[in-house]
Amino acid sequence: PNVVFPTAADVRENGEIDVYYGMADSSIGVARTRIPDQSDWLRQVGD
């Protein structure tokens, strides 16, 4: 219970980041956040 398994992150064109995660092996969720200082770095690392 109360366990989240992040599995992927997607940096969107507008600087928002979608974090996909599994929930208790029965569902998939997505959380959207904005981290302006990190989005450029994440784009470089992801290439």
Token code pair at residue 5: 């398994």
| Rounded Cα–Cα distance for residues 17 and 37 (Å) | 12
Task: Specify whether the CB–CB gap between 30 and 18 falls below 8 A.
Answer: yes
All structural domains of the chain with their residue ranges: 4-46
Report the percentage of the chain scoring pLDDT > 70.
81
Scored b (16 or more CB within 10 A) or e, 2-28 reads eeeeeeeeebeeeeebeeebeeeeeee
Q: What is the pLDDT of residues 4-15, one digit of tens each?
A: 777 888 988 888
Residue 38, pLDDT > 70, answer no
Global model pTM greater than 0.75 = no
